[in-house]
């Protein structure tokens, strides 16, 4: 049975069959999120094995990503285990996020490291770009900062599945987050700059193009399509960049890690981009099983023809 997105029926949109399969799958995940946390984490491990078998295209993308970032020799058994680990970690992240809708009382943060960097970046008074990636749980990183009295505006790409996008917006709002969706609204980028110049915190992704074009950068011995937006925003506004990650810990909670802030004063856009590339590569190398990159982010063209790629040419997603 296919579950159609109501927005598609209303606007006469026809999408490929796997879009509706994905919508139905997320519906099942949403229902599962109401279970006790220990039970839903067990179910995510079972579900990961089904997805591994039933979604070969996704499996091949994950295999490609992991083959390029895993250190040492990658045997078939190791690759299979790492793909399953990524799927399990993605399920855990998604279930924890959806559980926030009912005010999950579980204390999700285990530890915080580097809070002095947060204080220094905020004290500069030039706005703060919270630079994160699809590593661990980016939503939890914003949640933990909000609990410290820092209201965060998250920059995202609109969700293809209408009801899921509305649900995501509702959860963020209830967690004291704002969001700016980079889509057809030409004023979105201006709104981001306005908030930064007002001294606010704005969260951006380092590993998924969401406006502002992309750069082809050296990454783990290959070339990665990486968004230019964070480096351009910092260079244009003077906002400090504060790398923040919420990594999954062994006891099913999260460690909030705040890296040293980057003051863009005196740095070119290219120098800022290089620093962010090195940072992202270090975290992906250290935590490959937590790099929840479900797309193919690589630029496999010859390096000499790798140029800026318009944002509209990239895949959409959060």
Asked whether residue 316 carries a pLDDT value surpassing 80, the answer given is no
Nearest to 132 by CA among 28, 61, 210, 24: 210
Average pLDDT over residues 157-172: 83
Each residue of 120-141: pLDDT tens digit? Answer: 999 999 999 999 999 999 999 9
* Predicted pLDDT of residue 76: 96
Average pLDDT over residues 86-111: 85
Asked whether residue 270 carries a pLDDT value surpassing 90, the answer given is yes
* Predicted pLDDT of residue 72: 86
For tokens 């980028």, the residue is 189
Domain residue ranges of the chain, discontinuous segments joined by +: 6-313
For residues 159 and 52, which has the higher predicted lDDT (pLDDT)? 52
Nearest to 162 by CA among 181, 177, 175: 181
Least confident segment among 45-49, 249-253, 313-317: 313-317
Confidence of residue 38 (pLDDT cuts 50, 70, 90): confident
Alpha-carbon distances of 161 from 16, 40, 65, 70, 317, rounded to whole Å: 12, 23, 25, 32, 10
Average pLDDT over residues 79-86: 97
Asked whether residue 314 carries a pLDDT value surpassing 80, the answer given is no
Q: What is the pTM of this model?
A: 0.85
To 10 degrees, what angle do helices 76-99 and 138-146 make?
A: 40
Confidence of residue 6 (pLDDT cuts 50, 70, 90): very low
Confidence of residue 67 (pLDDT cuts 50, 70, 90): very high
Least confident segment among 30-39, 53-62, 134-143: 30-39
Each residue of 41-57: pLDDT tens digit? Answer: 888 899 899 889 988 99
Give the burial string for 76-108 (b: 16+ CB within 10 Å, else e): eeeeeebbbbbbbbbbbbbbbbbbbbeebeeeb
Asked whether residue 12 carries a pLDDT value surpassing 70, the answer given is no
* Predicted pLDDT of residue 21: 58
Residue 167: count other Cβ atoms within 10 Å of its Cβ: 17
Least confident segment among 64-68, 143-147, 209-213, 252-256: 209-213
Edge-to-edge strand list for the sheet holding 240-248: 109-113, 254-258, 240-248, 128-132, 201-205, 152-156, 177-181
**Token output for 268:** 């070119």
* Predicted pLDDT of residue 176: 80
Q: 100: which residues sit within 8 A by CB, 6+ positions away?
A: 143, 171, 174, 175
Nearest to 181 by CA among 169, 167, 164: 169
What rounded mean pLDDT belongs to the chain? 84
d(CA 176, CA 153): 9
Cβ proximity of 177 and 142 under 8 Å: yes
d(CA 304, CA 238): 31
For tokens 């905020």, the residue is 122
Asked whether residue 240 carries a pLDDT value surpassing 80, the answer given is yes
8: burial class by Cβ within 10 Å (0-12, 13-18, 19+)?
A: middle
Average pLDDT over residues 34-43: 86
Q: At CB < 8 A and 24+ separation, what contacts does 27-34 make?
A: 27/3, 29/91, 29/94, 29/95, 29/98, 30/98, 30/167, 32/95, 33/94, 33/95, 33/98, 33/99, 33/101, 34/99, 34/102
Confidence of residue 113 (pLDDT cuts 50, 70, 90): very high
Strand 152-156, strand 201-205: pairing = parallel
């Amino acid at each position: 049975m296919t579950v159609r997105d109501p927005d598609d029926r209303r606007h006469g949109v026809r999408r490929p069959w796997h879009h509706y399969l994905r919508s139905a799958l997320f519906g099942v995940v949403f229902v599962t999120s109401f279970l006790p946390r220990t039970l839903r984490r067990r179910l995510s491990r079972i579900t990961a094995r089904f997805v591994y078998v039933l979604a070969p295209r996704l499996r091949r993308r994950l295999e490609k990503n992991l083959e390029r970032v895993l250190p040492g020799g990658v045997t078939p058994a190791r690759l299979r285990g790492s793909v399953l680990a990524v799927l399990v970690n993605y399920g855990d992240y998604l279930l924890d996020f959806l559980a926030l809708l009912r005010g999950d009382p579980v204390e999700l943060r285990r530890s915080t490291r580097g809070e002095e960097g947060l204080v220094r970046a905020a004290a500069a008074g030039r706005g703060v770009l919270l630079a994160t990636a699809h590593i661990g749980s980016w939503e939890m990183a914003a949640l933990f900062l909000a609990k410290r009295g820092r209201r965060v505006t998250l920059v995202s790409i609109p969700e293809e599945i209408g009801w899921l996008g509305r649900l995501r917006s509702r959860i963020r709002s209830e967690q004291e987050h704002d969001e700016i969706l980079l889509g057809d609204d030409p004023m979105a980028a201006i709104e981001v700059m306005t908030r930064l110049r007002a001294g606010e915190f704005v969260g951006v992704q380092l590993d998924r193009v969401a406006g502002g074009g992309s750069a082809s950068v050296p990454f783990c011995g290959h070339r990665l399509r990486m968004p230019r937006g964070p480096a351009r925003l910092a260079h244009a506004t003077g906002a400090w960049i504060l790398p923040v990650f919420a990594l999954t810990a062994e006891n099913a909670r999260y460690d909030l890690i705040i890296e040293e802030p980057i003051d863009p004063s005196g740095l070119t856009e290219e120098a800022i981009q290089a620093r962010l590339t090195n940072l992202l590569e270090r975290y992906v190398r250290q935590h490959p099983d937590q790099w929840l990159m479900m797309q193919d982010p690589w630029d496999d063209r010859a390096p000499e023809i790798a140029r800026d790629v318009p944002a509209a040419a990239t895949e959409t997603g959060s």
